[in-house]
Structure 1
Amino acid sequence: MSDIRDRAIQIYDAFTHEHRDRRTLLREMVGLVGSVAAAEVLIAGIAASPAAASITQPDDPALVTRKGPYAIGPGKQLTGYFAAPKDAKHAGVVIVVHENRGLTPHIEDVARRVALAGFQAVAPDFLSDQGGAPADENVARDMIGKADLTAITGEAVATIGAMSAQPGANGKVGIIGFCWGGALVNRVAVASGNALAAGVAYYGPAPDPAEAGAVAAPLLLHYAGKDARVAATGVPWVAALKAAGKDVTAYTYDGVDHAFNNDTSAERYNKPAADLAWERTIAFLHQHLDG
């Protein structure tokens, strides 16, 4: 069963990150487990479940939350989900970057977790230019695949500038991202120079190692031990950062899958690894964003 599960996750990751063809996904899953019904159950266990989105409460009395537009330049806006401790004063700001499904309830929940740890948080919808993230995650993935990554990187860098001037903020801005969002964290670290105070990437595919010299912010990089696709880019990226004398800490969590932090995916979530990575993440963000 473990071999079947591992192969199923590989097939699903190919669907989400490569071919995006659900007919191919279903055909390969049926070949693995023998029937359409069993394949659908397996797919549902690997995919994120909106019903399991909230670990924190949207109306938590310790927080102030809102969702709406924010300006990143003259005549330019993005939609974002904001969460902050009540009466937050002199707090660092953390940009929370979604996966390739766009801004979902799960990512909003992660933003609240960040806020409960003492930061102001904003989770931008980087599909804002295409009308916003749709409820259908397959449509969202198609939209992400067609998005202009150079333009989105510019929007993220502009968000750093906008958030540094937030009321109650201390001017320091960090960024955390997951999967597609982890890849964007690396891109933003290359593009933002000294504007970024800290970056945390969870299993994010890395840029060309030749770009490591442009990174100024300290980075914390989390990798899944069974995630060969991302490791193929992550290993040379970490090596290049270290060779360039950059402040980088990288952890690989043995025996866990890509997306191990996503507690809405029953088959991939790994609580011990997720808890440890989160503890390290919050300590890292406090180290670089407090004061």
Structure 2
Amino acid sequence: MKKLDKKDIDPKVFKLYDDYAHNRMERREFIEKLSLYAVGGLTLTSLMSSIMPDYSAIQVSQDNPKLKTETISYDSPKGGGTINAQLSRPKDAKGKLPGIVVVHENRGLNPHIADVGRRAAMAGFISISPDALTPLGGYPGNDDDGRTMQRKRDRNEMLEDFIAAFEYLKDHSECTGNVGVVGFCFGGWISNMMAVKVPELKAAVPFYGGQPSADIVPNINAPLLLHFGELDERVNAGWPAYEKALQENDKKYKAYIYPNANHGFHNDTTARYDEKAANLAWERTVAFFNEHLRS
């Protein structure tokens, strides 16, 4: 079924989906409330098809001939133990590459985030995309079950899993040792927290991520590039206090708020996707990593 254009969907539908995607609403309630917007030429089926992920929208395939992409495992002694991850880098790389840790949303390493990891590799980095659901069996093949599974894990233990991924990548024989992190939603919070907890982190790029408390902002060493959607009221509510703490502690940061963009605007598998904002944010992200990881 052809997806609806974002302009044809009531903005309240995106807020409804945001509540559902962030575990503030059960599936039955979500469908009941969504059905209220199935009016005129819109059907519940067309709305569901448009706002739920469609993983046929992959930009860089797993078997892309320009990349060497594989599944690896690494040790996370303070987190979940053994963690599986996608490791991807250009096949024609000459010498060592700077590294990027790619952090998923609140549903495990789904096809979209794995795709983002490969996009980072296409940009000339060695990337690691961990699956924090590994201790529970790994990403289950759909986001609904993935969200349910991720709720069973402690988020601070998952933070340790991604810090361990940083250590794995920093010490990898094909990495220069200069490593940054990019994360989305839950992964945005992880990116902010890695900036707090990892002194050697070279750069952090949170996409619409939750913010650390002001009292730990002084621990940040890495420069930050922060992306927000203008319509993302939930996440944006914490930004003024975070920015004030960054300024008071003389931290290096750049922040962009993308007009008329929703939470999740970078995810090209749902109708929340904003192509213009997503492309610009990714261009800025790659340029930021080139600036801070290749020096």
Amino acid at match of 1:260: F
For 1:215, which of 217, 220, 227 is the aligned residue? 220
Amino acid at match of 1:200: V
TM-score by length of 2: 0.92
Aligned-residue CA RMSD in angstroms?
Answer: 1.9
The aligned residue for residue 201 of structure 1 is: 206
C-alpha distance 281-198 of structure 1, shift in aligned 2 (>3 A): same
Query: How far 1:80 moved relative to its partner?
Result: 0.2
SS at match of 1:199: strand
Amino acid at match of 1:56: V
Once the two structures are superposed, the pairs formed by residues 1-291 of structure 1 within 5 Å of their partners are 2=7, 4-34=9-39, 38-52=43-57, 54-73=58-77, 76-88=81-93, 89-192=95-198, 194-265=199-270, 267-291=271-295
Query: How far 1:42 moved relative to its partner?
Result: 0.9
Q: Deviations over 1:93-125 (max 9, x none)?
A: 100011112101111111111001110001000
SS at match of 1:260: coil
Quote the Cα distance in structure 2 between the aligned partners of 1:57 and 1:129: 26
Quote the Cα distance in structure 1 between the aligned partners of 2:7 and 2:123: 35
* Larger CA deviation: 75-84 vs 131-140: 75-84
C-alpha distance 126-64 of structure 1, shift in aligned 2 (>3 A): same
Give the paired residue count: 287
Query: How far 1:134 moved relative to its partner?
Result: 0.8
TM-score by length of 1: 0.93
**Contact between 1:160 and 1:195, CA under 8 Å: does it hold in 2?**
no
Amino acid at match of 1:60: N
Q: Deviations over 1:215-270 (max 9, x none)?
A: 111110000001001101223212211221111111000111111111111x2111
C-alpha distance 199-268 of structure 1, shift in aligned 2 (>3 A): same
SS at match of 1:111: helix
Q: Deviations over 1:43-101 (max 9, x none)?
A: 2211211222x211322222111013123459932100011011432211100011112
Query: How far 1:146 moved relative to its partner?
Result: 2.4
User: Matched residues, percent identical?
Assistant: 36
**Contact between 1:161 and 1:195, CA under 8 Å: does it hold in 2?**
no
Quote the Cα distance in structure 1 between the aligned partners of 2:190 and 2:206: 8
SS at match of 2:278: helix
* Larger CA deviation: 81-90 vs 176-185: 81-90
Structure 2: where are the runs of 5+ without partners? 1-5
SS at match of 1:78: strand
Quote the Cα distance in structure 2 between the aligned partners of 1:106 and 1:98: 9
* Larger CA deviation: 71-80 vs 9-18: 71-80
Query: How far 1:2 moved relative to its partner?
Result: 5.0
Query: How far 1:34 moved relative to its partner?
Result: 4.5
Q: Per residue, is there more helix in 1 or in 2? A: 1
Structure 1: where are the runs of 5+ without partners? none
**Contact between 2:210 and 2:238, CA under 8 Å: does it hold in 1?**
yes
Q: Deviations over 1:8-41 (max 9, x none)?
A: 0011101111424011101111123259x82232
SS at match of 2:129: strand
